[in-house]
Amino acid sequence: MAKPSTAVRPGVVVTRTPLRVSFAGGGTDLPGFYERDYGAVLSTTIDQYLYVTVKRHGELFGEGFRLNYSQTEHAATLDEVKNHIARECLRFLAIEPPVYISTVADLPEFSGLGSSSSFAVGLLNALHAYRGERVSAGQLAEEASHVEIDVLKRPIGKQDHYAAAFGGLNYFRFMADGSVAVEPQQHAPESLQRLFGHLLMFWTGMRRDATTVLAEQQRKTDEKRQLLERMRGHARELQALLRNGFDPLEFGRVLDRTWQLKRQVASAISNEQIDGWYERAKAAGAIGGKICGAGGGGFLLLVAPQERRDVVRQALRDMTEIAIHYEAQGSRVLLPFVE
């Protein structure tokens, strides 16, 4: 646990942290897999964000902590705070009350875009700034993963924390000793525009907590190891495709292969309705795709040639499309602004 800071604190801190889309390798960032070998994930952050505000709470309110998110909390003591991530981040950095925390996101939680980890990263970034501290992306990622994995015992991997902290398009390697190698993928803006110009993302309307799916996946790691190894290979394959000149057809085919494997890793990753949407999209011209995150709902990501995009949209007209673009930066302190 950190010691209370004596630095001069700003009056109000606001951070902006991106959500992420994972293309391939998800599941190999779980300790049960990478501790025996290594894991690898290719992912990108997108221009959909989670904002966290932290300020000193007014003494006259007579409460130690006030939190506004999808609920509103009024707590006299830290132990009374019900939001697990907020409570343990406050405890980890030894933040003295009274404190006010507010969170708002561009997209719903439990949607497969790493929102809980973006919240942990964004909140820690805000709390460090509130203490008068500036910290690295690597420190934010490790602290956030420590809170969620080691303290809260959630059956999740580290990929979301690293994506949210570093931002951009990255190939992450999760090593047996717990360290993470970050390989930023440097591409010209026109190459990234070409990639995102072939992506479509649709809201399934299904929100689910990934914990159940990931807990089953964690239990079945040894049983499904060969599948996971092939999915790890797909992350490297997609990295090579992007490096050697983006081929949307081949990119989509690899995504399709990794989705077919992912559906076998845990029982709740897909369902009849998701499978139906996916087959309709492919029949309309989509090359491949996947459900973002652990599965079971959230967002359906598709790769489609430019000339088939409107046909795919029409085939999925009962779903809501969300436009996404590339985000190069990870969690940022917006207020107070510092050069």
- In angstroms, rounded to a whole number, what is the distance separating the alpha carbons of residues 93 and 159? 22
Percent of the chain with pLDDT over 70: 92
- Outline which parts of the chain fall under CATH 3.30.230.10: 12-187+327-335
The predicted model gives 65-75 an average pLDDT of 96
Q: What are the CA-CA distances from residue 65 to residues 134, 151, 195 (Å)?
A: 23, 21, 44
pLDDT at 60: 87
Does the bond joining 18 to the residue before it have cis omega, within 30 degrees of 0? no
Please tell me the distance from the alpha carbon of residue 177 to that of residue 36, in angstroms, as a whole number: 9
The predicted structure's pLDDT at residue 6: 45
- Among 45-54, 134-143, 181-190, 240-249, the minimum mean pLDDT is found in 240-249
Q: Which CATH architecture has domain 12-187+327-335?
A: 2-Layer Sandwich (3.30)
Higher pLDDT, 222 or 311: 311
- Quote the CA–CA distance of 306 and 313 in Å, as a whole number: 12
Residues 6+ apart with CB under 8 A from 290: 255, 258, 259, 262, 300, 301
User: The whole model's pTM is what?
Assistant: 0.92
User: Would you give the end-to-end CA distance of the chain in angstroms?
Assistant: 29
What local confidence, expressed as pLDDT, does residue 244 receive?
Answer: 83
Peptide bond into 98 cis (omega under 30): yes
pLDDT, averaged across the chain: 91
CA atoms within 13 A on the CB side of 50: 29
- As a whole number, mean pLDDT of residues 267-285 equals 91
**Token duo for residue 236:** 């490297």
Q: Look at residue 213 in the predicted model and tell me its pLDDT.
A: 65
Q: How confident is the model at residue 11 (pLDDT cuts 50, 70, 90)?
A: confident
Q: What is the mean pLDDT of residues 140-164?
A: 96
CATH 3.30.70.890 residue ranges of the chain are: 189-321
Q: Which of 42, 45, 48 is nearest to 182 (CA)?
A: 42
pLDDT at residue number 246: 82
Q: Which CATH class is domain 189-321?
A: alpha beta
The confidence score (pLDDT) of residue 125 equals 98
Decide: 242 and 212 in contact? Cβ < 8 Å. Answer: no
Give pLDDT, residue 8.
44
The mean per-residue pLDDT over the stretch 167-185 comes to 96
State how far the Cα of 225 lies from the Cα of 229, in Å rounded to an integer: 6
The answer to whether residue 339 scores a pLDDT higher than 70 is no
Give every strand in the sheet of 320-321, ordered side by side: 288-291, 299-303, 199-203, 320-321
State the residue for tokens 């709470």. 57
Q: Which of 185, 206, 159, 215 is nearest to 34 (CA)?
A: 159
For the residues of 285-312, what is the DSSP string, one character each?
T--EEEESTTSSSSEEEEE--GGGHHHH
pLDDT value at position 10?
Answer: 60
